[in-house]
Chains A and B, each alone.
Chain A
Amino acid sequence: MLRFSRPEAETLVIALQGNWRERWDYPSLAAFRRQLEESPPPRRVVFDCSGLTGWNSVLIAFLMDIIDCGQRQGIAVEREGLPPGMAALLRLAHATPERAGARREQARPPALVRLGQAVYDLGQGAAEALSFIGEATAACGRLLRGRARFRRRELLVIIQECGIQALPIVSLISILVGLILAFVGAIQLSMFGAQIYIANLVGIGIFRQMGAVMTGVIMAGRTGAAFAAQLGTMQTTEEIDALKTLGIPPMDCLVLPRMIALFLMMPLLCLYADFMGVLGGFIVGVAMLDLNFLEYYHQTVGAIRLNDLWVGLFMSAVFGVLIAAIGCLRGLQCERSAAAVGKATTSAVVTAIVAIVVVTAAITVLCNILGI
């Protein structure tokens, strides 16, 4: 409770009463302001805390408001009546002066400045990516000369993580993609009574494009994100600095094994995904469209050329290098905070998926020109 009284003409007594300990509502300053405007205006404010049984920091903040408000109007606010603990906290709150220059300018820079900054950042990002590619190439050179330093065991662990352990999810997605392709095709082809060509559609589609692309997307979300998060966290805990000061380039012992692992595993996963995808199409064809088992098999084998397989495998190897490189790059670029690790991971996945789509388009056009 808050009570005002004027025992003397020039003195305003603020009586604080009751238990403020559990009160988290903030009293209003308006009543105090009204008191100041009464005539004759008070010259000093004193506190009477004889009825106060408990207090918390809301009361402290309120008292600071009263003191500030009084000071602005040239009225002396005397703190003698306050309990010693409250007086001490008020002293403490006023004790440390604000450090000069600590307060930030909140103003947003003008649009032109922001545009310039964005372009500059873009250039900076491109330069970083280029230097990363350069360093990675140099590391590959060291690897070929047998001079790269990384632990064989770590490579095997990464291979296991991004190879065998990815099989269940790759199986699921590939079979479903095969099913979907077959269904979409079935509706159109059955209008011409050409259901058997579903085998061609699924076989070529999966082997040439979808197997590689879907595996790439899965691995970007699964493994690329993991790389970025892992390296980003290592950056925040200074583990990467520790490697650098030991003279071990992070490019050799962190990035290289990850790129090698994905480069080796992606084609294998892709091959596996190809067969799973064709199996998906086969299920639809045989079980739902009543195509003959052997007929479907021969149709598929006849439709797929060896070149389709090679194109798919080549793309998947490229995706492997891209996913690993982008994941590692984002991880190494990470700033040192939890939020930055999240940002790095998101960016790794988004960049990798964009790269996969762009590369797929480029290779498709290239194959068309070369007639493969």
Chain B
Amino acid sequence: MENDAHIVVDNLTMAYGDFVLQRDLTFAVRRGEIFVIMGGSGCGKSTLLKHLIGLRRPARGTISFNGRDYWQAEERDRERITRTFGVLYQGGALWSSLTLAENVALPLEEYTELTAPRIRKLAALKLALVGLKGFEDYYPAQISGGMAKRAGLARAMALDPEILFFDEPSAGLDPISSRLLDDLLLQLRDSLGATIVVVTHELASIFAIADNAVFLDAAAKTMIALGNPKTLLAEATNPVVRNFLTRGGSMPPGGPTPPSGAGDGKHHKTI
């Protein structure tokens, strides 16, 4: 069970109308690994995530989960597959008219037969797991951005998903909070055994969490590297990938430590 492919993307082309964003994407995400989708701004990372979670239909190619083609499946099966996803959106995307506990409870109310006090208990447990014990009755507007993100994670975990998707988890967080979120992610992966797909361009975070990664390039309109980021850093010959992973040469190729806090992932020239 350790090394089988959980998500398989085969020959995927993403397009908005006639405008092709990325083509010929082929990769597999193994069960229980943390897979990072990286690349510069505007290369289609978030769009790829939208394709993976079924919000957008591929222009060509297939995406399969556990060997089942998502878009070939019937509506009901598709819904069942989607229910095994948990998604953390960029800003948390908490429903602002509900408290944190109600936010986490909504999917449980929808899909389980549990009674209200037990749902409440489960919601409190999920919030405790992300370090928000005691904040059950707060509204999203009353908490900070980092807390909103963690609450979003609690909601994503509500139904014990098999796959967790993260859209830029560290965007807008200070380096310490972003590091804590990375640690939390690793802990959750180890204990839940979930497959985790992360879209990010935060170098520190990429090196800290990724088992495997795909690099999308806006100019080439396709993926130009696939593999463990540390290996890529040591071995990649493509100048674009090297440039990205070393922050435009400002970081020694020997390794990313110490973590450089908030890299914004753009192709900076050396200052």
Contacts and interface: CB of A to CB of B under 8 A. Distances in A.
Interface of A: 21, 24-26, 56-58, 60-61, 64-65, 84-86, 88-89, 92-99, 102-104, 106, 335-340
Contacts of B193: 85
Given A96-B131, A337-B96, A56 B160 contact: yes
Contacts of A104: 137-138
A21 to B, nearest CB: 8
Contact of A26 (B114, B129, B160): B114
B114 A57 contact: no
A92 B133 contact: no
B18 interface: no
B118 interface: yes
B234 interface: no
B191 A102 contact: no
B125 A86 contact: no
A20 to B, nearest CB: 10
Contacts of A102: 133-135, 138
Given A85-B190, A96-B128, A58 B141 contact: no
Contact of A85 (B97, B138, B191): B191
A339 to B, nearest CB: 4
Contacts of A84: 191
9 interchain residue pairs of minimum CB distance = A102-B134, A337-B96, A98-B134, A339-B97, A88-B191, A24-B112, A96-B131, A85-B191, A56-B160
Nearest to A338: B96
A337 B141 contact: yes
Contacts of B11: none
Contacts of B96: 337-340
Contacts of A61: 118, 121-122, 125
Chain B CB within 10 A, most for which of A60, A64, A84: A60
Contacts of B139: 337
B20 interface: no
A86 B191 contact: yes
A24 B107 CA distance: 12
B113 interface: yes
B147 to A, nearest CB: 10
A68 B31 CA distance: 34
Contacts of B113: 24-25
30 contacts: A21-B160, A24-B111, A25-B113, A26-B115, A57-B122, A58-B122, A61-B118, A61-B125, A64-B125, A84-B191, A85-B190, A88-B187, A89-B191, A93-B125, A96-B132, A98-B134, A99-B134, A99-B135, A102-B133, A102-B134, A102-B138, A103-B137, A106-B137, A335-B141, A337-B96, A337-B139, A338-B95, A339-B96, A339-B97, A340-B96
Nearest to A56: B160
B126 interface: yes
B106 interface: no
B13 to A, nearest CB: 32
Nearest to B115: A26
B118 A26 contact: yes
Chain B CB within 10 A, most for which of A64, A65, A92, A95: A92
B54 to A, nearest CB: 21
Given A26-B114, A103-B134, A338-B96, A60 B190 contact: no
B220 interface: no
A86 B129 CA distance: 12
B73 interface: no
Contacts of B191: 84-86, 88-89, 92
Nearest to A90: B191
A59 to B, nearest CB: 10
A25 B114 contact: yes
A338 B190 contact: no
B134 A89 contact: no
Nearest to B189: A85
B137 A89 contact: no
A14 B40 CA distance: 52
Given A60-B125, A85-B193, A104-B137, 9 more contacts: A24-B113, A56-B160, A57-B126, A57-B160, A65-B121, A89-B129, A92-B187, A99-B134, A335-B141
A111 B111 CA distance: 40
B169 interface: no
Nearest to A98: B134
Contacts of B140: 337
Nearest to A59: B160
Nearest to A22: B160
Nearest to A343: B97
Nearest to B160: A56
